[in-house]
Each structure stands twice: as structure tokens, then as C-alpha cells.
Amino acid sequence: MADTVLTTLMVFGLSLSAGWLLWCALRTSIRFYATRRLQATVVATALITSSSAYAYFCPDFLDETVTPKIKLVAESLAAQIMAVDGVLSAQLEFHSERVLSAIAVLTKQKAVAANQIGNSSRVQSQQIASGMGVIRTAARQKAVRLNHGSEYGQGVDPCRIYAQRKVIAGRDADMAREVRGRIAAEVYAAPGVYMDGAQSREKLVEAHQPFCTQDQVDAGLCKAVGTLPGASLNAGTLFNPAMGAEDLYKAKSAYINNVVGMTDSPVPEGAGTHAAATTYAMAKGSKDAIVSPAIVALKDVQLFNSGVEGSHSGTDLPLSMLFQNEVNRYAGGSIEYDNWSNAMAKQVERGVMVELLKVEALRLAVAGKKLEALDKQEAMLAALVALEARRAQEGAARQDAGNAMSRAVTPGVQ
């Protein structure tokens, strides 16, 4: 009996020692690995082993002593396991949230970076396209300015020169229309005009008063020396530029009237049906037609060198001065030429060609005026030929009449 008890106690002691050693090893393993599944496995193994050992070796009278301690150890172990599990769960949840947040932030950052890269690429493309557009626009503007600008491609000062050329063209056409009206209004002996001799002489004398010379005053023909002595008797007066309200323009009209002479006396009232009146009117008409080319030429020269008011162009400088200004621009010896030559140095090829066309246009206009002058000369030469033919015809008629009279008188003498 004693041997049995002793044996039982030794087995129980060995079991307790083995269980305690196993528990220490398991605890160390639990601390080392710190995993929930391993802890549960170890605890379960320890409990099963201890319980088995206890169930197998421990006698019934030891339950009251061992069981409470085993329960206490098991509860303590379970509490520690639960505490470790809670800490691990909290840390896992905390770190999971941080990892998920970090992943979300990283994803958002990548999206923002991609968006920024896309916006930067778009803005850069737009800037490049805008820059290319600016470069193309600048190139077109440069080409337009070089080829069509007033500084380089349109010649020298195109707007001002165009305006001056337009004035010249308008004045030239207006003066051509003014010649006929000015002849009828300012020439006393105009074609087709009849006036009493005394009245015609009075008008000529009155128009000559502002131009009387000292000799005419001494001779008693004038009361005082005029402001322009002898201007109405000098052909050079016609070629001096003057405005329409100046005395020089009146001297030009007086000169033409002095060249044309006095008017023809009118046909007496009621004598128009007589043969003599008809012959007189026809003779006057022929004289007026022969003289008219000279009158037109003289009046045209007067208006070309006078700044009179036109019906369409108003009042401006004489045409001779307008043409002279244009010629001075290209002929040299003037400030206008200096400015033109300086501006020509900056012109591109197109500007030079345009300016050459302007020079040629002026040359054609001057050539046109020369052609008009030649036409007037031709008309005056034709009138002179007609006058000479008329004189020859009248001389032959007088010679025939003299011969007839001689033949009629000779038989009576015999």
C-alpha cells in the first residue's frame, strides 16, 4: 500500500514537473512568436497534456488542491491571450487604416500628378500653338507692311501724294470746263459779242487803270501809276502764278482784252433783214472764228497759272504750281526732293516699282499737257492759214475789181 502511494506521488510529482516545464516552454514560445493561433494551440496542448497527465496519474484526493491552481493558471493564461489578442487587433486595425489611408493618398497624389501633367502638357501645347500663331501673324504683318505699308512697299508718302494727284486731276478737268465760261465773262470782245465802240473803249481804259505806267500818267492817259505798272501790256503776266482775287489775275484778263481789241459795233435795231447787215454779221462771225483759237489759248494759259475757284474743285493753288511741286519732288534742288530721296533708300523692291509708276504717271500727265498745247498751236496755225487765205481772196477780189474798173475807164479815155 505504501509502495503504491509512493509510486502515485512520484508520478504526480513528475507530471506536475513535466507540466510546469512544458508551460514555461510554451510561455516562452508564446512570447517569442506572438501569434494568436500558436498561443491557442499551445494552451490547448498544455491543457490537454496536463489534464491527461492529471487524469491519468492524479488521484481523486488531489483535485481539491490542483484543480483550483490549474483553473487559476488557465484563466490567467486566457486573460493574457485575450489581452495580447486585443492589442494585436487594435494595432492591426490602426495600421490597416493607416495603410489604407496611405494607399488612398498615394492614389490621389498619382491622380493629381497625372492631371497636373496632363494640364501642363495641354497648356504647353496651347502656348506652343499660340507662339506659332504669333510668329505666323508677325510674319504676315511684316510682309504686308513691307509690301503694302506706307513706309516701305507703297512708295514715298502714298496717302499725301495720292491726295495731291487727285487735286491735280480735279483741277485740270475743272479748268478745262472753266475756259468757255471765263471767256464769255471776262473777254469784252468775245466771239459773238457786240458792243458800242465808246462803251468798249471805256471798259478797256477802266480795266487798265491799276496797271498804268509813269509815261502814261505823264501823257495824261492815266491819273496815277498803278500797283502793277505795265502788267496788262506784258505777255509774261500770263505765266506768273496768281490767285483769283489778286490784282495780277485782273492784269492777265486786261492783257487778253488788249490783245483781242475792241468789240464790234452792234447792228442797228431793225436793220437785221438788210443785205448789208447780213454781210456784216457773216464777216464778224468769220473774224471771231479765226480769232477764237488765240483767245482760248490765252485764257487757258491764264487759268493754268491762276488759282481761281472751280465749279467742282473749289479754290486751290494754280495748276502750274501743283505740277511744279510734283516735278520738284523728283527733279532735285528742293526740300521735297531731299525727303523723297531719303525715303527711297528704305523702300523695298515693290515700293521702288510703285514710285517709278508714280514718276511715269507724272510724266504722262505733263506729256498730256504738252499735247494739249500742241493742239492749240495747231488750231492757231490753222486759223492763221485761213486768215491768210481770206486775205489772199480779198486781195484777189480787190485786184479783179480794179482791173474791171480799169477796163471800163480805158475805152472812155480813148
Neighbours of 265 (CB within 10 A): 15
- The lowest-confidence range among 143-152, 214-223, 297-306 is 143-152
3-class DSSP state of 315: strand
pTM beyond cutoff 0.75 = no
* Residue 133: C-alpha distances to residues 9, 98, 123, 149, 183 (Å): 106, 51, 15, 22, 66
Beta-strand pair 306-307/242-243: parallel
pLDDT of residue 23: 52
Identify the band that residue 299 occupies on the pLDDT scale cut at 50, 70 and 90. very high
pLDDT of residue 405: 66
Bridge partners of residue 314, in order along the sequence: 310
Q: How far is CA 150 from the centre of its chain?
A: 9
Which residue, 205, 241, 211, 240, is CA-closest to 227? 211
pLDDT of residue 73: 81
pLDDT tens profile 264-273: 888 887 776 7
Over residues 298-324, mean pLDDT = 86
Q: How far is CA 278 from the centre of its chain?
A: 69
DSSP string for residues in 139-193: HHHHHHHHHHSTTTTS-SSHHHHHHHHHHHHHHHHHHHHHHHHHHHHH-TT-TT-
pLDDT of residue 367: 92
Burial level of 144, CB count in 10 A (0-12/13-18/19+)? exposed
**Between 313 and 353, where is the model more confident?**
353
pLDDT of residue 253: 93
198 has pLDDT over 50? yes
Mean pLDDT of the chain: 79
32 has pLDDT over 50? no
Identity of the amino acid at 277: A
pLDDT of residue 52: 46
**Between 8 and 247, where is the model more confident?**
247
pLDDT tens profile 133-187: 889 888 888 777 766 666 666 778 888 888 889 988 888 888 888 888 899 999 9
Over residues 369-382, mean pLDDT = 90
pLDDT tens profile 34-58: 444 444 444 444 444 444 444 444 4
**Between 46 and 209, where is the model more confident?**
209
Grid cell in block for residue 231: 502788267
**Between 160 and 29, where is the model more confident?**
160
pLDDT of residue 5: 39
